[in-house]
């Protein structure tokens, strides 16, 4: 279970030189085994929210809890143990340039656990087959297309079978077929392993069908938190406009 | 340089096994360097073709100069003060050995005006302004802003490069004068505090007639030449940027390395040629 | 950066001088504090880290081998220039060039070799380190490292720090030798100073060697710390990488000049 309780995050604004609230009073809950879709216009604070959840950014106000662990207050050792249970795919893929595809995918496994070489090879092969990149083990990230990098990043995020799966734009830049396949894969993986998934995507048409719940973040505030069906008929005109993709409205 | 570069990067892998591959990569390295020099030449001719006084936007030029001067003033100032002090500290034992403290002012002035002032100012401006210029232009290239200019039928060379090119040369020359003065102040202060030479004695040594106008001119002529090489290489590598954010970093590195190499090579030839 | 049609605005001009001075001073204090903190963390992870083996050797190859040609070239030129300039200067008072070699050797060992070499390394190596680390920051690779319990200081800074500590000294010693050789040639060709007269190490004593080596070591430590600090502080896409790389060159060069002053002054006052 991922629980956010009136979360507030401030970041330094480079242009003005002061600290500005990026997230303000955000509360939501992702029950175990659920896929939660977080959507919203650009620069709303979606990526900041994800990074705060996994403990990469400081919690300024409120509470972030993964199961029973308070991320903001966790001791370093506790945080390290927690990170074994988190998998994250980044918006910019964050593939290490000097490692092969196989080493990239195996990186969290090797760092956080102590697997045997055979185990690593087997798991990497299984993940690559899942994202339809069989045989790509020895390629370097620089030689991959944008969509292939996205899929490698997803494979790396899921190699440890993490109970918490955090996805930041997992399918941006993918063609419609690969994109649909990836979302189906997310759904299958989460259902099979019973993990908790928090996903950000601009591809509402493909994200919403696999989501159990959806949240709409605008300007650092969570305007809506509920089921997909509720979102489609939301009372707030901004949420209604965004979810239904209407050109006219308050946004 | 291409020879040495190719040699150093390939030697451990190639020389034992595949001698043919080594020779090929050596030639490749030389060709690559030659291509860079050639591209710089082309860029220079294109800049020259667009540099008629009538076409030069003076307001733009002044604005760039203002910006460049302001961003490099603190670093050039600090560098000059400390460098002047170091010159005195290093020269003091030598001069004391000859028993000629009166010449310390002259010695420091000579070294600063002819060599160290122009050289260090050029290196610092290359790091601050040249690198910044490359980063700016590189960002514009990778975010396709330069293509956007072309689409609007605005010539990027005339619009972006020419004002920066001349502003950088002028800024470096002005900064050299500023840094010469501050380096002498730093030398005088260090002489007073550390070596026990009074400011008055330093001044007397400096103005004893052994420093002539041609020494100052020697330094300034060099600084214009340095400005030229820094401007050319920073503009070239900025425009030649490819490959997103990492590409911008690589360009900046290539630009400062090429600038420094050019500065030292030019310094060598000009030291002999200019009286 | 905005659009290309936007020209750089010197906003600082409109700030009142005292306000600006205070802001610069505050920035400098917090900057120095950040550098010291990074340095301490680097030392900590040097002994306690869990980085992969071989990373340091790779960086040592990068620093030593890749930057050697550039450093050799510039140092060869500076050797020729300095001997020429000092002989011209000497010629104005006493045209006796017999001691040029001895004085040059002393100055090269205690000052010029380490400092010019250090400035060149700051340019070449500092820009490279900052460009690499900044690229890793803006493409979120550093976030990914942290998420796998791999501290970026341990994984990125420590290998560069250790490699630079060793290779800076090695490269500077080798290139100073080269600068000495080109200086000797210049004296021979331009001023007819015979090699056996020029090669005179009588003025080089223990103090000179100690000062020179201390400087090389200090530069070797300062360059990676300054550059990685700038690189890791990068933000905001390709413009951010450019800014970080520029800042690294400036900060490393400045650090070398300041360190040089303090080491030279202490050596002078101690009488080395």
Mean pLDDT of A211-221: 91
Tell me how close the Cα of B45 comes to any Cα of chain C, in angstroms.
23
pLDDT computed for residue B22 by the predictor? 67
- C 237-256 → A contacts, CB under 8 A: none
Place of tokens 């050789």: C181
Q: Are C41 and C232 in contact (CB under 8 A)?
A: no
pLDDT computed for residue C127 by the predictor? 92
Contact with chain C for residue A88, Cβ under 8 A: yes
pLDDT computed for residue C3 by the predictor? 41
Searching chain A, which residue's CA lies closest to the CA of residue C138? A92
Q: Are C110 and C203 in contact (CB under 8 A)?
A: no
The parent domain of residue C77 ranges over 18-270
Q: Say yes or no for a CB contact (<8 Å) between B138 and C245.
A: no
Q: Say yes or no for a CB contact (<8 Å) between A97 and C141.
A: yes
Q: Note the maximum CA span of chain C.
A: 68
Confidence of residue B199 (pLDDT cuts 50, 70, 90): confident
Q: Is residue C8 part of a domain?
A: no
Q: Note the maximum CA span of chain A.
A: 57
Check pLDDT > 50 for residue C6.
no
pLDDT computed for residue B49 by the predictor? 84
In chain B, the percentage of residues whose pLDDT exceeds 70 is 91
Q: Is residue C11 part of a domain?
A: no
Q: Is residue C13 part of a domain?
A: no
Of B136, B131, B157, B148, the closest CA to residue B55 belongs to B157
Residue A23 tokens, joined: 């997230």
pLDDT computed for residue A16 by the predictor? 61
Q: Are C126 and C226 in contact (CB under 8 A)?
A: yes
Give ipTM to 2 decimals.
0.87
Considering A31-45, C76-90, C216-230, the range whose residues carry the highest mean pLDDT is C216-230
Confidence of residue B232 (pLDDT cuts 50, 70, 90): very high
User: Rounded to an integer, what distance in angstroms lies between the CA atom of residue C123 and that of residue C117?
Assistant: 10
Searching chain C, which residue's CA lies closest to the CA of residue B116? C82
Question: Which residues in chain A have their CB less than 8 angstroms from residue C148's CB?
Answer: 83, 107-108, 111-112
Strands A61-66 and A164-168: unpaired
pLDDT computed for residue A35 by the predictor? 93
Strands A35-39 and A196-200: parallel
pLDDT computed for residue B14 by the predictor? 41
Which chains does B contact via 3+ CB–CB distances below 8 A? C
Mean pLDDT of C194-209: 88
Q: Are C113 and C215 in contact (CB under 8 A)?
A: no
Tell me how close the Cα of A120 comes to any Cα of chain C, in angstroms.
16
Helix H or strand E segment including B210:
none
A37-51, A82-96, A138-152, B52-66: the lowest-pLDDT one = B52-66
Residues 6+ apart with CB under 8 A from C201: C102, C105
Mean pLDDT of C254-270: 90
Question: Which residues in chain B have their CB less than 8 angstroms from residue C244's CB?
Answer: 249
pLDDT computed for residue A17 by the predictor? 65
In chain A, the percentage of residues whose pLDDT exceeds 90 is 38
Check pLDDT > 90 for residue B175.
yes
Per-residue pLDDT reduced to its tens digit, A164-206: 999 999 988 888 888 998 999 899 988 988 899 999 998 888 9
Query: Which fold is adopted by the domain A32-59+73-85+163-251?
Result: Rossmann fold (3.40.50)
User: Rounded to an integer, what distance in angstroms lies between the CA atom of residue C11 and that of residue B147?
Assistant: 28
Tell me how close the Cα of C39 comes to any Cα of chain B, in angstroms.
23
- DSSP strand E in A1-78: where? 2-12, 19-30, 35-39, 61-66, 69-70
Q: Is residue C130 part of a domain?
A: yes
Q: Is residue C1 part of a domain?
A: no
Q: How many domains does chain C fold into?
A: 1
User: Rounded to an integer, what distance in angstroms lies between the CA atom of residue C160 and that of residue C150?
Assistant: 16
Could you say which of C3, C24, C119 has the minimum Cβ distance to residue B123? C119
Mean pLDDT of C150-158: 91
Contact with chain A for residue C15, Cβ under 8 A: no
pTM: 0.86
Contact with chain A for residue C55, Cβ under 8 A: no
Tell me how close the Cα of C236 comes to any Cα of chain A, in angstroms.
10
Q: Say yes or no for a CB contact (<8 Å) between A56 and C236.
A: no
Check pLDDT > 60 for residue B76.
yes
- φ/ψ bin of C44: left (φ > 0), alpha (ψ from -120 to 50), beta (otherwise): alpha
pLDDT computed for residue C239 by the predictor? 86
Check pLDDT > 90 for residue B177.
yes
Could you say which of C7, C66, C77 has the minimum Cβ distance to residue B63? C7
Q: Say yes or no for a CB contact (<8 Å) between A96 and C235.
A: no
Searching chain A, which residue's CA lies closest to the CA of residue C235? A14
User: Rounded to an integer, what distance in angstroms lies between the CA atom of residue B44 and that of residue B138?
Assistant: 18
Of B87, B144, B146, B80, the closest CA to residue B117 belongs to B80
Residue B147 tokens, joined: 């293509």
pLDDT computed for residue C12 by the predictor? 46
pLDDT computed for residue B8 by the predictor? 46
Q: Say yes or no for a CB contact (<8 Å) between B257 and C89.
A: no
- Helix, coil or strand: residue C22: helix
Could you say which of A86, A93, A96 has the minimum Cβ distance to residue C147? A86
Question: Which residues in chain C have their CB less than 8 angstroms from residue B142's CB?
Answer: 238
**Mean pLDDT, rounded, of chain A:** 89
Residue A15 tokens, joined: 């242009």
């Amino acid at each position: 279970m991922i629980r956010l309780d009136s979360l507030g995050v401030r970041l330094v604004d480079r242009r003005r030189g002061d600290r500005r609230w990026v997230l303000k009073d955000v509360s939501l809950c992702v029950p175990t085994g659920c896929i939660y879709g977080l959507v919203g216009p650009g620069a709303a604070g979606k990526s900041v929210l994800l990074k705060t959840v996994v403990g990469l950014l400081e919690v300024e106000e409120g509470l972030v809890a993964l199961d029973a662990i308070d991320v903001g207050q966790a001791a370093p050792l506790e945080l390290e143990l927690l990170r074994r249970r988190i998998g994250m795919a980044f918006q910019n893929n964050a593939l290490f340039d000097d490692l092969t595809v196989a080493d990239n995918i195996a990186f969290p496994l090797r760092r956080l656990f102590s697997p045997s070489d055979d185990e690593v090879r087997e798991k990497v092969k299984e993940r690559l087959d899942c994202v339809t990149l069989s045989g790509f083990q020895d390629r370097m990230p620089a030689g991959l297309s944008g969509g292939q990098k996205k899929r490698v990043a997803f494979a790396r995020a899921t190699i440890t079978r993490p109970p918490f799966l955090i996805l930041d734009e997992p399918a941006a830049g993918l063609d419609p077929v690969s994109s649909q396949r990836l979302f189906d894969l997310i759904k299958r993986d989460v259902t099979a392993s019973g993990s908790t998934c928090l996903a950000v995507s601009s591809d509402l048409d493909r994200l919403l069908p696999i989501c159990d719940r959806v949240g709409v973040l605008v300007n650092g505030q969570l305007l809506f938190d509920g089921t997909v069906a509720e979102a489609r008929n939301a009372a707030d005109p901004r949420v209604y406009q965004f979810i239904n993709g209407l050109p006219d409205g308050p946004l | 340089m291409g020879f040495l570069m190719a040699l150093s990067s390939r030697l451990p892998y190639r020389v034992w096994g595949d001698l043919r591959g080594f020779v090929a990569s050596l030639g490749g390295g030389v060709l690559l360097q030659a291509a860079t020099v050639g591209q710089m030449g082309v860029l220079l001719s294109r800049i020259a073709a667009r540099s008629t006084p009538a076409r030069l936007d003076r307001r733009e030029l002044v604005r760039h100069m203002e910006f460049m001067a302001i961003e490099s003033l603190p670093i050039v100032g600090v560098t000059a003060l400390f460098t002047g002090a170091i010159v005195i500290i290093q020269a003091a034992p030598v001069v004391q050995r000859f028993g000629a403290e009166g010449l310390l002012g002259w010695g420091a002035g000579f070294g600063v005006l002819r060599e160290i002032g122009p050289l260090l100012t050029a290196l610092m401006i290359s790091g601050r302004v040249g690198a910044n210029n490359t980063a700016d232009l590189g960002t514009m290239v990778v975010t396709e802003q330069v293509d956007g200019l072309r689409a609007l039928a605005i010539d990027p060379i005339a619009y972006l490069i020419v004002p920066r090119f001349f502003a950088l040369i002028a800024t470096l020359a002005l900064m050299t004068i500023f840094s010469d003065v501050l380096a002498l102040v730093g030398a005088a202060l260090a002489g007073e505090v550390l070596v026990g030479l009074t400011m008055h004695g330093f001044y007397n040594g400096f103005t004893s007639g052994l420093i002539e106008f041609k020494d100052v001119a020697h330094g300034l002529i060099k600084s214009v030449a340095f400005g030229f090489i820094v401007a050319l290489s920073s503009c070239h590598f900025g425009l030649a940027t490819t490959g997103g954010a990492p590409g911008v970093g690589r360009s900046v590195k290539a630009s400062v390395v090429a600038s420094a190499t050019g500065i030292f090579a030019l310094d060598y030839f000009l030291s002999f040629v200019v009286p | 950066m905005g659009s290309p049609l936007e020209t750089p605005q010197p906003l600082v001009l409109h700030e009142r001088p005292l306000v600006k001075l205070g802001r610069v001073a505050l920035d400098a204090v917090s900057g120095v504090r950040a550098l010291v903190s990074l340095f301490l963390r680097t030392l900590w992870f040097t002994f306690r880290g869990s980085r992969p083996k071989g990373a340091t050797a790779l960086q040592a190859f990068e620093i030593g081998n890749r930057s050697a040609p550039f450093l050799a070239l510039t140092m060869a030129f500076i050797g020729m220039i300095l001997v020429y300039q000092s002989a011209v200067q000497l010629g104005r008072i006493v045209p006796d060039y017999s001691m040029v070699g001895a004085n040059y050797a002393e100055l090269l060992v205690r000052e010029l070799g380490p400092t010019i070499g250090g400035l060149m390394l700051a340019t070449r190596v500092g820009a490279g380190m900052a460009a690499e680390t900044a690229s890793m920051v803006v493409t979120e690779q550093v976030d990914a490292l942290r998420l796998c319990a791999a501290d970026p200081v341990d994984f990125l800074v420590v290998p560069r720090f250790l490699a630079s500590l060793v290779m800076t000294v090695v490269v500077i010693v080798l290139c100073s030798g080269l600068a000495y050789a080109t200086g000797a040639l210049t004296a021979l060709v331009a001023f007819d100073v015979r090699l056996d007269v020029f090669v005179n190490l009588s003025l080089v004593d223990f103090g000179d060697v100690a000062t020179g080596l201390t400087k090389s070591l200090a530069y070797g430590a300062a360059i990676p710390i300054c550059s990685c600090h700038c690189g890791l502080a990068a933000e905001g896409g390709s413009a951010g990488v450019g800014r970080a790389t520029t800042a690294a060159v400036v900060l490393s060069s400045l650090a070398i000049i300041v360190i040089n002053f303090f080491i030279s002054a202490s050596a002078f006052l101690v009488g080395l």
